[in-house]
Amino acid sequence: DKANYRHFMAKEIHEQPEVVGQTLARYIDTACQRVALPVKLPFDFREVRRITITACGTASYAGSVAKYWFERFARVPVEVDVASEFRYRESTLQRGDLAIFVSQSGETADTLAALRYAKAEGAHTLAVVNVPTSTIARESETVLPTLAGPEIGVASTKAFTCQLIVLAVLGVAAAKARGELSEDEEIDLVRGLVEIPRLMSAALTTEPQIERLASDIAKARDVIYLGRGTSFPIALEGALKLKEISYIHAEGYAAGELKHGPIALIDETVPVVVIAPRDRLFEKTVSNMQEVAARGGNIVLMTDAKGAEEATLDTFATIVLPDMPAAFTPMVYAIPVQLLAYHTAIVMGTDVDQPRNLAKSVTVE
């Protein structure tokens, strides 16, 4: 049931603070401010030489964000691939490698085939899934559930942010096991995680502004999304959300790649959505924005108060999100990109929950 919302997608976007909170409660011991996985892992992170993360669509972007976390916190090399490539490219898994699979439905054909391949190669398999009775959950050696509840809208929203939570906790757990994290650092990261539901609620208050902006985005033929670091997969996710439900062409790029080709697309008709929390890469992204502005591009900047103040350039719109620790901005910045896609689709009059040509669960390859 849609409660009082017009679409399941709207309901699911708004449920995020709550379901992310529930997922966190399963993975964090709040009393002692430590990560606490709900299952005992059948491997030792100290012995893991390499992690592969495999998924499709939005779930693969959760994996791409997690790569930054595993590498930065736990200093372990990570490869991320979409399942349809991973399963056929004869990826060189070794016994003892950790192969992570991320899926809302747990039934995606390519992800399941990739899981079977990794098992046959002797890797440890771990699935982050939302449907606990699914085939991927059943066949994986370890299952870490997301507690998003049923996701009905074809466009994945709350499953994505819950996947990010589980992967973030796993990254912290890996760092701890590998001796890369002091007790204080762990407490700091856990404090940051616990704040996320509140920050997501604050991010939802940008909705009226985003709704107004949507009528301009709806006029565009192409929209570009830019981000660096963990904001790069959020740019990809923003572009995927927009194309899948509004049918407007959109592309996400790593901000630094702009001048290697995509900048040729920029003119006054192309909105450029920049995901740029005021983190250590902010200055770099600002200089990319200047390049966009110099070519007449219309910038929609998603940042925090400090970022809005420091980015002294004319934007078409600036969406101000709450200040927060840099590590976990993806969970919060996912919200305005979801809202922008949703409200643009409303203006376009598309079928938001059941966009054309798409199925909720892709059980054929």
By the criterion CB under 6 A, which residues form the site for ligand M6R?
56-59, 103-105, 108, 111, 154-156, 240, 244, 361-362
Task: Give the Cα separation of 356 and 202 in Å (integer).
Answer: 32
Beta-carbon count within 10 A of 318 CB: 16
Task: Give the Cα separation of 333 and 63 in Å (integer).
Answer: 16
Residue of 2, 119, 243, 360 marked catalytic:
360
Smallest gap from residue 110 Cβ to ligand M6R (A) = 9
The C-alpha torsion from 216 through 249 and 17 to 227, rounded to 10°, is: -90
Task: Give the Cα separation of 168 and 298 in Å (integer).
Answer: 33
Q: Which residues contact 214 (CB under 8 A, 6 or more apart)?
A: 340, 343, 344, 346, 347
Please name the helix (run of DSSP H) or strand (run of DSSP E) that holds residue 275, with its range, or none: strand 271-275
Smallest gap from residue 321 Cβ to ligand M6R (A) = 21
- Return the number of the residue (154 or 292) whose C-beta is nearest ligand M6R: 154
Token output for 250: 């959109």
- Return the number of the residue (111 or 303) whose C-beta is nearest ligand M6R: 111
Task: Give the Cα separation of 68 and 80 in Å (integer).
Answer: 10
- Return the number of the residue (240 or 345) whose C-beta is nearest ligand M6R: 240
C-alpha gyration radius of the chain: 20
Closest CA to 225 of 333, 360, 359: 333
Smallest gap from residue 242 Cβ to ligand M6R (A) = 11
Task: Give the Cα separation of 114 and 101 in Å (integer).
Answer: 8
Smallest gap from residue 53 Cβ to ligand M6R (A) = 13
Smallest gap from residue 235 Cβ to ligand M6R (A) = 15
- Return the number of the residue (103 or 246) whose C-beta is nearest ligand M6R: 103
Query: Helix or strand or coil: residue 96?
Result: coil
Residue nearest to ligand M6R (CB): 57
- Return the number of the residue (108 or 303) whose C-beta is nearest ligand M6R: 108
- Return the number of the residue (131 or 320) whose C-beta is nearest ligand M6R: 131
Q: Is 360 marked active-site? A: yes
Smallest gap from residue 336 Cβ to ligand M6R (A) = 16
Which residues participate in catalysis according to the annotation? 360
